[in-house]
Chains A and B, each alone.
Chain A
Amino acid sequence: MTASADIQAGRLRPDDYVENFNDVHPPLDRKRALIESARCYYCYDAPCVEACPTGIDIPSFIRKISTDNVKGSAVDILTENIMGGACARVCPTEILCEGSCVRNTQEEKPVNIGELQRYATDHLFDSGQQVFERAASSGKKVAVVGAGPAGLSAAHRLSLLGHDAVVFEARDKAAGLNEYGIAAYKVPNDFAQREVEFILSLGGIELRCGQAIGKDFSLTELRRDYDAVFLSMGMAGVNALGLENEDLEGVVDAVDYIAQLRQSGDLAQLPVGRKVVVIGGGNTAIDIAVQTKRLGAEDVTLVYRRGKDNMNATWHEQEFAQLNGVKIKHWAQPTKLMGQDGQVKEIEFEYTQLDDNGRLMGTGDHFSLLVDQVFKAIGQSFVPAPLMNGAADVLELSSGRIAVDEDRKTSLSDVWAGGDCVTGDDLTVAAVQDGKVAAGAIDRHLRG
């Protein structure tokens, strides 16, 4: 880092860090939970259930909250979604359960399903009770690669069904993006690890961290040593802008920075630019923009090459970023990175529009922003190479990710896959469902 760059740690007072990275939504207390639960109509064939990728019986769990049967409520949630606690915090409920709540039609104010789900699951976690019981041992052993939501969900369900699961995790900690990727204020107080502990407390799940496929072991070995394999290693690749000077100091991958932030013991030690530009339109872009602002960046501008309706980040997330003082500019794409002494100083954009065929094109007009840090948040990609090491059989891909059928079964007869490494919605809740479905299919396969 050069002296000319304004990238500094400790921009805020110590208390500000605590406040800025604390729970973005304080949890409901019993009184509020009772009021909110009373708003649920207990719909028949409820649209919210259909909108939930894991199919939680939402009216039932809410009714149980309203009768103070909070444990029963939590069991209903966790039976369908073992990471119901994380999903209550990170799900884009505005486009899932809450987005389909019939109260939207009536009064444009859905039942706050996410917060109620958190109320129930927190209650159970706080009580420290184990509510699940494993089936009799099948004597079968399944390897799970990646301890993110998909992998943990699969492992938990496999264990419930009586199989032993060994989970290999390349990083030092389990929980995947809940530990390394989600914005800190959504899962404060080490929630991701508390949830992992809860999942592991069932028994029958062995977690081996620091074990990367293609490096410490191979898929071939797993297929040889285990009765079945579930792949859920997420996306290891980060998309590049494809511009010259992308290696300038201050041009940073957002996912790496967020992982660093999440693992930082002291946010006051984390340097952040005074002037920040974020490029991208997804949740990662929102998360990095808001977090850098909350770390004390003075100006944070998120630039996206299309309009607001095209952004992967929901309207709710966009509004949240704007509330946090992030400026969102639509219809512009980066064209040039300019530096001084190896440090990025300025970024040039070209305005964009759609041509007559609906394709994105530059307008020829440009603008530039002075910048201390540029965060790239333009998507991640699946890296298949580690799976292929020494493999005789070919694992088929589809759109650059592992191809799976409805059971999340891959082209290999004893290998299933789920989460971000397969095509589908890149959501925690979808990953949990993948793991659940695959575990069911693996169970049928093993007992077949």
Chain B
Amino acid sequence: MADLRCNIAGVQSPNPYWLASAPPTDKEYNVVRAFKAGWGGVVWKTLGEDPPIVNVSSRYGAVNYNGTRMAGFNNIELITDRPLDVNLREIKQVKRDWPDRAMVVSLMVPCEEESWKRILPLVEDTGADAVELNFGCPHGMSERGMGSAVGQVPEYIEMVTRWCKKYTRMPVFVKLTPNITNILHPARAANTGGADAVSLINTINSIVTVDLDAMAPTPIVGGKGAHGGYCGPAVKPIALNMVAEIARDPECQGLPISGIGGVSTWRDAAEFISLGSGSVQVCTAAMHYGFKIIDDLTDGLSNWMDSKGHQSLEDFRGAAVPNVVNWNQLDMNYECIAEINQDLCIKCGLCHVACEDTSHQAIFAKRVDGERRYEVNDPECVGCNLCMLACPVEDCITMREVDNGKPYMNWLQDPRNPANIKAAE
């Protein structure tokens, strides 16, 4: 049985699954339910200065795709709308009752040293394990000069991180916004400012749908809508890339990462961890199905680790990072072509039409004795994977490596590279 214990920047938890700072972690009642269900930790919903903010009614929107509810999800909720002392009291109580679970407290106060200096000791007094600086929230708070308004300016990130390191002994996690062009700039700023870890991604600026009757973006508040923060399964690819970018950045080496973004299954978590994440934070999946999903998240991860012979998370943490490279390091001589397992083929023809209409005309639509038969035209196949991806039958189309005997050659070495042609002249 694999050991799922997690240690990130000194914060320990029995498993790597933390509930992200969001509605599920807004108060003692929810958090206790989560801990009873088996969650490894929580990032308490963001605290701010009193008086508490006020939330609107109608707060969430979703992208439903092809029968799947909440494939993408967004919200226009702000930070906690409860008084600071109520939250602090509950945090203290919960940490006392559940000492083995990670208790991280998310914070967002004005971008002034005094504000941070004032709130940090209050949090420290609760016994919390760490703080997470919410520099990511893209709506509402950013218009007040907080959240992503800070997160989009690396100098501010560095400055606030320094203040926090100065006024608390707790580890400082900096939560990054994806609403920037290059995630490395804010990540490096946090690193330079002394952050103990970064958490990413926060939500993405979004309008999930437009209500065509109301002619307004959803969620609709009295006939109007505002852009919200996008999350859920749909954002996972964006999050994975940003995590990987930081994990393989020479300047950020050793900077722990708490991965966030569409984690719904143990497999998602394993992917984040393989790209260097320490803990993983979950929100949408819990908001969709409740806290009980922690059972499969832990059990599935443990079983998979057993099957791979991994005894602890450290055994595979970051294992995929060395294989994430820049495009110009890919082997130009590698070749693969599609192969269709005729025994599994159900004759839907999607491989053919996808290739015929939109790619390389490399799949024949034949009739053999009146029966449909789809066959790869090997010489035309460029190994793009489209047919395999379009095929509704698992493992019916696979990509077979062609052994062409050619050695590794990347683009920088490739004689077809214009730079090399020029050099040869």
Contacts and interface: CB of A to CB of B under 8 A. Distances in A.
A393 B353 CA distance: 52
A38 B348 CA distance: 15
Contact of B392 (A34, A41, A45, A66): A41
Contacts of B66: 38, 66
Nearest to B345: A105
Contacts of B393: 106
A42 B353 CA distance: 11
A121 B347 CA distance: 28
B345 to A, nearest CB: 8
B390 to A, nearest CB: 10
Interface string B49-71: 00000000000000000110000
Contacts of B392: 41, 106
B349 A44 contact: yes
Nearest to A37: B67
Contact of B365 (A41, A42, A44, A105): A44
Interface string B329-359: 0000000000000000011111011000000
| Of B346, B352, B372, B392, most A-chain CB atoms within 10 Å | B346
| Of A35, A42, A44, most B-chain CB atoms within 10 Å | A44
B348 A41 contact: yes
Nearest to A42: B350
Given A44-B352, A44-B365, A45-B372, A102 B347 contact: yes
A44 B348 contact: yes
B306 to A, nearest CB: 30
A91 interface: no
Given A45-B372, A47-B372, A34 B67 contact: yes
Nearest to A47: B347
Given A44-B365, A45-B372, A47-B372, A102 B346 contact: yes
A318 B154 CA distance: 74
Given A102-B346, A105-B347, A106-B393, A44 B67 contact: no
A161 interface: no
Contacts of A38: 66-67
Interface in A3-36: 34-35
A193 B67 CA distance: 36
Contacts of B372: 45, 47
A34 B66 CA distance: 9
A240 interface: no
A69 to B, nearest CB: 13
Contacts of A41: 348, 350, 392
| Of B67, B352, B353, B393, most A-chain CB atoms within 10 Å | B67
A72 to B, nearest CB: 16
A208 interface: no
B67 A102 contact: no
B350 A105 contact: no
Interface residues of A, number: 15
A44 B350 contact: yes
A147 B353 CA distance: 42
A103 interface: yes
Contacts of A103: 346
Interface in A29-70: 34-35, 38, 41-47, 66
Given A38-B67, A106-B392, A44 B346 contact: no
A119 to B, nearest CB: 16
Given A41-B392, A106-B392, A46 B67 contact: no
A43 B350 contact: yes
Interface string B359-383: 0000001000000100000000000
Nearest to B357: A44
A41 B365 CA distance: 17
A102 B67 CA distance: 20
A106 B372 CA distance: 15
B30 to A, nearest CB: 30
Contacts of B350: 41-44
| Of A42, A46, A102, A103, most B-chain CB atoms within 10 Å | A102
A43 B67 contact: no
A54 B203 CA distance: 51
A105 B346 contact: yes
Nearest to B394: A106
A7 to B, nearest CB: 51
B353 A35 contact: no
Given A44-B365, A45-B365, A45-B372, A35 B67 contact: yes
A35 to B, nearest CB: 6
B368 to A, nearest CB: 14
A373 B27 CA distance: 75
Nearest to B396: A106
Given A34-B67, A106-B393, A46 B349 contact: yes
Nearest to A38: B67
Contacts of A105: 346-347
Nearest to B68: A38
A13 B72 CA distance: 53
A103 B349 CA distance: 13
| Of B347, B348, B349, most A-chain CB atoms within 10 Å | B348
A38 B393 CA distance: 16
A69 B176 CA distance: 41
A257 B354 CA distance: 54
A43 B66 CA distance: 16
Interface in A94-110: 102-103, 105-106
Contacts of B67: 34-35, 38
Nearest to B352: A44
A31 to B, nearest CB: 10
Interface in A248-269: none
A44 B349 CA distance: 5
A46 to B, nearest CB: 7
B396 to A, nearest CB: 10
Contacts of B347: 43, 47, 102, 105
B356 to A, nearest CB: 8
A105 to B, nearest CB: 4
Contacts of A35: 67
Contacts of A46: 348-349
Nearest to A107: B346
Contacts of B365: 44-45
Nearest to B365: A45
A45 B348 CA distance: 8
Nearest to A40: B348
Closest 8 CB pairs of A and B: A44-B349, A44-B353, A38-B67, A102-B346, A43-B348, A105-B346, A102-B348, A41-B348
Given A35-B67, A43-B347, A106-B392, 4 more contacts: A43-B348, A44-B353, A45-B349, A45-B372
24 contacts: A34-B67, A35-B67, A38-B66, A38-B67, A41-B348, A41-B392, A43-B347, A43-B348, A43-B350, A44-B349, A44-B350, A44-B365, A45-B349, A45-B365, A45-B372, A46-B348, A46-B349, A47-B347, A47-B372, A66-B66, A102-B346, A105-B346, A105-B347, A106-B393
